[in-house]
Every structure is written in structure tokens, then in C-alpha cells.
Structure 1
Amino acid sequence: MARRRAVDERLTHPRRNIVPDRGEGDEAHRIAVFQRMMEAVGGTVEILEDVNDVPASVATYLRNTNRPARIRHGSDERLTSLPWHRAQTLEVEEGRALDADTASLTHAFAGVAETGTIVQLSGAANPTTLNFLPEAHIVLLEAKDLHGSYEEVWGRLREIYGPGQMPRTVNMISGPSRTADIEQTIVRPAHGPKDMHVIIVRSL
């Protein structure tokens, strides 16, 4: 019973873990740290001032990486409301990922500067399959959702979902899929996208 009470107390009153200084700072600092950490593991980062430039950015990324001008995203209103007509050559589809999809676009719940990590929640708005099935995963991250540490993200989740509640799945993704299981040689992809591209839109 004592152990159960201890667990209940921990869940009811969660304590913050150690928070590294690396991600602490203003928005510009968090963006710089996130970009450095993401690029260190093979991802790429682009910074925009206006969210309405995202469609053109997506089209340019696909063209520069020699991929079909086709993207799939979920029902997240921040993605469906983008001015896709600005990228006239881009074919935009909605729903969970299919085997034929070569690129996906998701909206991140949050970012963690200290490790260059994207935090994704499962659901129809951003189906989990979009994170892992297509060859290229493009992520829209709003700078206001970029936090310095994991502890801040967990705190935000608890505030939104309430005590003892969580989304079905919380995925933390740091760069494209890779492995070094064979002779310590990095191979991409392993069990997910070959490329990961994060578009950060600065706060107004």
C-alpha cells in the first residue's frame, strides 16, 4: 500500500526533473539551439517569418530533394487553412499516410530545444502514420511552441489534458530515421523517414 500511495502522490503532484541550461533563453536562442541539435543528427531546418509562406516552402523543399510535387497532411486546421493555392504545382492530399506517399506534412504539438526534438500527438489531426511511413517528413513548428526542455512540454500536456490523462501516443522525434547496428556505420533510413525537414515559423 505504501508503494501505491507513493505512485499516486507522484502522479498527482509530478516533480520537475533536472533541466539543462542549454535550451534556456529567449525565442531566438531556443531556435538556434534547436536548429543546431536537429542538424547534428541529419535533419534540416528552415525559418520563416510568415506561416502563409509554408506552401511555397514545402514545394521548394520537394523540388530541391528531387521528390514528386505531392504532400499529404492530416485534418489539422493549421494545415488545412494554409494558402495552398500559392504553390500551384503542388498536389495536396489529406488523411493518414499511404504506402505510395513520398512526403508528409505534420503540425508539431511542441519542440524541445535542448535536444532538437519534435513532439507529436496521435489523432486524426496529425495521424501517427505521417510521422513514419513517407520517405520525407516535413514538420511545421510554431516558435511559440518551441520550449527549452522536456519538462515544459510535459507540463503543457498536463495542463491541456488534465490530471492522469494523456493522448494515446506521444512521439518524440529527433531527426530522420537511422541506425548504426551494423559495424557502427550510420545508415538511413532504418524504421522511418529518410529525411526530416522542420519549418519553424517565428512568433509575431
Structure 2
Amino acid sequence: MSGRAEILAGLKKSLATSGEAESARKNAVAARLKDTPAGIIPARGQLPADARVALFTCMAESVQTSVEQVAANDDVPAAVARLLAQRNLPACLRIGADRNLAAMPWEANPALEVRHGPSDGKDATAVSHAIGAIAETGTLVLTSGTDNPTTLNFLPDLHIIVVSRATIHGDMEAVWSDIRQTYGKAAMPRVVNMVTGPSRSADIEQTLILGAHGPRALHVIIVEG
């Protein structure tokens, strides 16, 4: 027996990975994966819906994120057009294939030029749809894929994220539960990005710089309906 095989055999023996003990271990792992038990969840975000949205807004604004609320999905394109005009930015944006965004009346705002697909790094503004948000930290949660390409999270200078009021949860665990229900455990998204405020860094002389590794500005549109 080689030294490697001897070491592995010793580990296997010490872990009791054979017979009834191994079967019990496998059953325990399978049960945990099936039930996905929750850990300790802070009480901070366990609030009624209105208070939860207020907490999310407060926490997001505390990290240089601007937040506004609109009544319905149909109001989002007009809100985006207003924001770009207020910031004196080109009326051009990029979105993915997200069906929620695609169903919005972008054509009702002819001044807006809407491009589709992942960013090539030349887009000033991108609009994404978040699968959920975490009230206790002011965090947006976005899943990767053609619906909301990950490049939109990092390359444009202004990132606008649309999130439904109903998906603003008090804690991270609730958002993960939504992701499991949406995708299923056998088909989880390849990447889940959690975005809290615009990109920033204070690595150089402790001077805060926005846009160090991503967008300089983050704007959130909460859809009531």
C-alpha cells in the first residue's frame, strides 16, 4: 500500500465511512439538502410589509443608492426617462431578456433608445430586474443568465435595478427560499450577485472612490403592483 492510500484508508476508518455508519451519514446529508433548515435569523428585518420597505429604503440610501417607488410596471420606463434627463445622461439604456422588463411599455417613450443583451462595456446605463431584496442591509439580489446578464451589474456607469415590493424580504434566507422555488434545486442559477450600493473602494489612502469596480451610481425602482 502506498503512503497516499494508507493515509486515505486511515481517514476513512476514523470517519467510519462504511457499513451502517456510512448509510447514516448519507441519510443525514440527504435530509439536510432536502429540508434546507434555516439558521438563526435576526429580528431586525422581521417587520410588516410597509416597515420592511421603509427599512430597505433607509439602508439603501445610507450607502449612496437612490430609491423611488412607482405604482406599476408600466410606470418604469417613464421613471427611467426622467432619471436620465435629471442626470443629463444620454437617453440610451441596455436590458437583458427579462420578461418583466420586456413587457414594459418602453415604446411609449420614443426618446429612449433600448438595446438588448449583455453589455460590451460601452453602455452608460443598464436596467436589471432583481429577483428580490434584503431589507436589513439594503441589498438587491440578482441572478445570472440571459434574462439579466451579469455584465449589466458591473460595466455600465449607472445601474438601475427594478424590484417588486412583494419580493423585498426582511432577511437573506427568505430571498434564497424564493430562488429555490423559482429555479428548483436541480437548476439553480450559475451566479447570484448581491448588490449593496454603487461600487466603491477606499484602498488608496483611505479615500472613498465610487465606481472602482463597477457602476458609479445605483438607482432602485420599487414597483408597488
The equivalent of 2:62 in structure 1 is: 40
Report 1:189-200 matches (<5 A).
189-200=211-222
Which structure is higher in helix share?
A: 2
Q: Which has the higher contact order (CA 8 A, sep 6+)?
A: 1
Unpaired segments ≥5 residues, structure 2: 1-16
The alpha-carbon deviation at position 65 of structure 1 amounts to 1.5
The equivalent of 1:63 in structure 2 is: 85
Q: Distance in 1 between matches of 2:207 and 2:31?
A: 44
Root-mean-square deviation (CA, aligned residues, Å) is 1.8
Deviates further, 147-156 or 2-11? 2-11
Report 1:40-119 matches (<5 A).
40-119=62-141
Deviates further, 165-174 or 188-197? 165-174
Q: Distance in 2 between matches of 1:129 and 1:31?
A: 27
What is the SS of the residue equivalent to 1:85?
Answer: helix
Cα pair 2:131 2:179 within 8 Å, conserved: no
Cα pair 1:22 1:33 within 8 Å, conserved: no
Report 1:116-155 matches (<5 A).
116-155=138-177
The equivalent of 2:32 in structure 1 is: 10
Deviates further, 160-169 or 1-10? 1-10
| Candidates 167, 171, 190, aligned match of 2:189 | 167
Cα pair 1:12 1:164 within 8 Å, conserved: no
Deviates further, 5-14 or 129-138? 5-14
Cα pair 1:12 1:163 within 8 Å, conserved: no
What is the SS of the residue equivalent to 1:79?
Answer: helix
Q: Distance in 2 between matches of 1:71 and 1:117?
A: 23
Q: Distance in 1 between matches of 2:128 and 2:25?
A: 39
The equivalent of 2:9 in structure 1 is: none
Q: Distance in 1 between matches of 2:58 and 2:167?
A: 17
Q: Distance in 2 between matches of 1:30 and 1:53?
A: 22
The alpha-carbon deviation at position 164 of structure 1 amounts to 5.2
Is 1:25 matched up with 2:47?
Answer: yes
Q: Distance in 2 between matches of 1:65 and 1:139?
A: 16
Unpaired segments ≥5 residues, structure 1: none
Query: What is the TM-score when the length of structure 2 is the normalising length?
Result: 0.84
Q: Distance in 2 between matches of 1:161 and 1:84?
A: 28
Query: What is the TM-score when the length of structure 1 is the normalising length?
Result: 0.92
Q: Distance in 2 between matches of 1:180 and 1:99?
A: 24
What is the SS of the residue equivalent to 1:33?
Answer: helix
